[in-house]
A and B are shown apart, each in its own frame.
Chain A
Amino acid sequence: MKLRTVGRHFRESLKSLSRNGWMTFASASAVTVTLLLVGVFVMIMMNLNKVAEDLEKDVEIKVLVELTAEKTEISQLEQDIKSVNGVANIVYSTKDAELENLIKDFGENMGLSDQNNPLRAAFYVKAQVPQETKKVADQISRLENTHSVEYGEGKIEKLFSFLNGARNVGIVLIAALLFTAMFLISNTIRITILARKREVEIMKLVGATNWFIRFPFVLEGMWIGILGAILPITIITFLYYNLYKIIQPYLEGEFFNLLPLTPFLYQINGLILLMGVFIGIWGSFMSVRKFLRV
């Protein structure tokens, strides 16, 4: 295809956008509604995912050290824990530090002091893969000089299975939404092309190749996709910007956060635009195909 022809197709596609004003509006609206739904959904999903990841990262194993353990034994234990498969990092906390933490959390009036500190020194261990926490914990509990190992047994498994479930449901919902959207849009575009069946028929009579006929329609679909993406992008940007400004201050200092504005807004808006273009092109391609069978 010559460059000149590509230029012609671009001009034609833009012309027919304005010539078929109402149909363009209808198709673009269908794209808008869909992209807005998908966009809001993806926005929520990605943030839930972020929170879930933060929660997962926060899961740690507390290894309590035997009271009788000597200093050298403790550093030996540290070495042993480090050599356990799947351990990401390890932090040591002396019994005094543990007591301080306890007092900080529950106040001074528990009658505990440095002299009669019943607490044990502890190691805080994080697993490389949060889901493997249980396995790592089991291995550590078998080491010498460990009194006990705590990692929120039972609760963690429940959290992980809940988060996994939520993710899967989200993916299925997004897929279903996109699928419905494509049918909705390809149907709208099909109606617009049906109205131009005669045009296609004449193009074929004068000897237009299938690609020559298809190209302006496909470009038109692309424009419709881009037009349809404008409003969702604006709304999502506005919505997330404000949500972030309102919610994020409350999450300051927490161990989970929302996705920061800068990469996220570009990502989600790029995704919306891409989906719009893809839906538009695919929709016209499928619709025009029907009329091209010679």
Chain B
Amino acid sequence: MISMKNVYKKYPNGIVAINGINIEINQGEFIYVVGPSGAGKSTFIKMVYREEFPTSGDIFVNGINFAKLKSKQVPYLRRQIGVVFQDFKLLPLLNVYENVAFALEVTEQSPKVIRKHVMEVLDLVGLKHKARMFPTEISGGEQQRVSIARSIVSTPKVMIADEPTGNLDPETAWDIMNLFEKINRRGTTIIMATHNKEIVNTIKHRVIAIEGGLVVRDELGGDYGYEA
């Protein structure tokens, strides 16, 4: 469902972030993307939701060829991909409910449908009772759960997470991982870039290690493999 063929990315400042990557990812997989800082993890992740465009090579997501995707159509692709970030990226002036509903308002659905879906996912992440609170009024872990709720409310097939536990304490991080497991079991493909050795070594999934813009290791149920 996600495939990259001979993908190569050179930034305008001359830095080669990705130096020829070939990857196949199937529907329903859970993937850790690991590697040292500056190895190209973020670029790799950004290319999946077309924040960055490869200099050469082909990328297919859900059967969509990125090379043929017009920038006008990008918003519709984004609705099929949920994204979660280290810094949550919530809108501070909107409350929890509004932040999640926002992702559906964009798709111009009826308020009734929006309400139903939002309450469902808030229930899933366990924040139904805090729907009216603002991001500043809840903890970091809860904020991340809101952003996860937002990313899955439009039931995307793929979810991308860029160091989702990076800003959280270990215990909260485990909560978030449990949530990811739950979402993955519903059939959503998850691609997660992480520096968390403990998580990768405990909850075993396919591990893709990127170094110097190349895939140096790709093993099912692999270890983190770096000293934390």
Instruction: Verify B78–A205 contact, CB threshold 8 A.
Output: yes
Which B residues lie within 8 Å of A205 (CB)? 49, 78, 83, 89
Does chain A have a CB within 8 A of B195? no
Instruction: Select one of A1, A19, A198, A209 contacting B75, CB under 8 A.
Output: A209
From residue B115, how far is it (CB to closest CB) to chain A in Å?
Answer: 14
The A191-206 residues at the B interface (CB cut-off 8 A) are 198-199, 201-206
Q: Is the CB of A208 within 8 A of B89?
A: no
Contact (Cβ within 8 A) A206 B106 = yes
> Which of B77, B78, B79, B111 counts the most chain A CB atoms within 10 A?
B78
- B76 CB–A CB distance under 8 Å: yes
Q: Is the CB of A207 within 8 A of B71?
A: no
How far, in angstroms, from A204 to B106 measured CA to CA in the complex?
Answer: 10
**How many of chain B's residues touch chain A, expressed as a range?**
20 to 34
A70 vs chain B, min Cβ distance (A): 86
When distances are taken between beta carbons in the complex, the residues of chain A under 8 Å from B91 are 198-199, 202
**Does the CB pair A294–B110 fall under 8 Å?**
no
Please name all residues of chain B whose beta carbon is closer than 8 Å to the beta carbon of A212 when the two chains form the complex.
75, 106
Binary B-proximity of A23-44 (CB < 8 A = 1, otherwise 0): 0000000000000000000000
B-side contacts of A89, CB under 8 Å: none
Interface of chain A residues 1 through 20 with chain B (CB within 8 A):
1-2, 4-5, 8, 19
Counted as pairs of residues, one from A and one from B, with CB atoms less than 8 Å apart, the total is 51
Kindly state the separation between the CA atoms of A4 and B104 in the bound complex, as whole angstroms: 13
Contacting pair A207 B93 (CB below 8 A)? no
- A193 to chain B minimum Cβ distance, whole angstroms, is 15
Q: A198-B89, A294-B71 are in contact. Are A206 and B78 (CB under 8 A)?
A: yes
Structural contact, A4 and B110, CB atoms closer than 8 A:
yes
List chain A residues, Cβ under 8 A from B106.
203, 206-209, 212
B83-A8 in contact (CB<8A): no
- In the complex, whether B102 has a CB less than 8 A from a CB of chain A is yes
Q: How far is the CB of B162 from chain A (nearest CB, A)?
A: 11
Residues of B within 8 A of A2 (CB): 108
Looking at the assembled complex, report how far the CB atom of B80 sits from the nearest CB atom of chain A, in whole angstroms.
8
Measured between alpha carbons, how far is A204 from B89 in the docked complex, in Å? 12
Measured CB to CB, the nearest residue on chain B to A16 is: B93
Known: A19-B93, A198-B89, A199-B91. A204 touches B108 (CB 8 A): no
Q: Contact check: which of A201, A202, A207 meets B107 at CB < 8 Å?
A: A207
Q: How far is the CA of A205 from the CA of B83 in the complex (A)?
A: 7
User: CA of A149 to CA of B121 in the docked complex: distance in angstroms?
Assistant: 94
* Chain B positions 9 through 25: 1 when the CB is less than 8 Å from some CB of chain A, otherwise 0: 00000000000000000
Question: How many residues does chain A have at the interface if contact means C-beta atoms less than 8 Å apart?
Answer: 20
Bound-state Cα–Cα, A294 to B103, Å? 18
A208 → chain B closest CB, angstroms: 4
The docked-state distance in angstroms from the alpha carbon of A226 to that of B137 is 36
Q: Does B78 lie within 8 Å of A204, measured CB to CB?
A: yes
Q: B30 CB to closest chain A CB, in angstroms?
A: 22
Task: For the complex, give the distance between the alpha carbons of A204 and B51 in Å.
Answer: 10
* Nearest chain A residue, comparing its CB with the CB of B76: A207
Q: Is the CB of B89 within 8 A of A201?
A: yes
B74 interface hit (Cβ, 8 Å): yes
Please report the C-alpha to C-alpha distance between residue A203 and residue B91 in the assembled complex, in whole angstroms: 10
B157 at the interface (CB under 8 A from A): no
Which of A1, A198, A208 gathers most chain B CB within 10 Å?
A208
Residues of chain A within 8 A (CB-CB) of B76 are: 207
Query: Chain A contacts of B89 at CB under 8 A?
Result: 198, 201-202, 205
Question: 27 interchain pairs (CB within 8 A)?
Answer: A4-B110, A4-B111, A5-B108, A8-B105, A198-B89, A198-B91, A199-B91, A201-B89, A203-B102, A203-B106, A204-B75, A204-B78, A205-B49, A205-B78, A205-B89, A206-B102, A206-B154, A207-B75, A207-B79, A207-B103, A207-B106, A207-B154, A208-B75, A208-B106, A209-B72, A209-B75, A212-B106
A residues sitting closer than 8 Å to B (CB atoms) are 1-2, 4-5, 8, 19, 198-199, 201-210, 212, 294
The 10 A-B pairs with the shortest beta carbon distances in the complex, nearest first, are: A207-B78, A207-B79, A206-B103, A208-B106, A209-B75, A207-B75, A294-B71, A5-B108, A2-B108, A202-B89
Given A4-B110, A4-B111: 14 more A-B contacts, CB < 8 Å: A198-B89, A198-B91, A199-B91, A202-B90, A204-B78, A205-B78, A205-B83, A206-B154, A207-B106, A207-B107, A207-B154, A208-B75, A208-B106, A209-B72
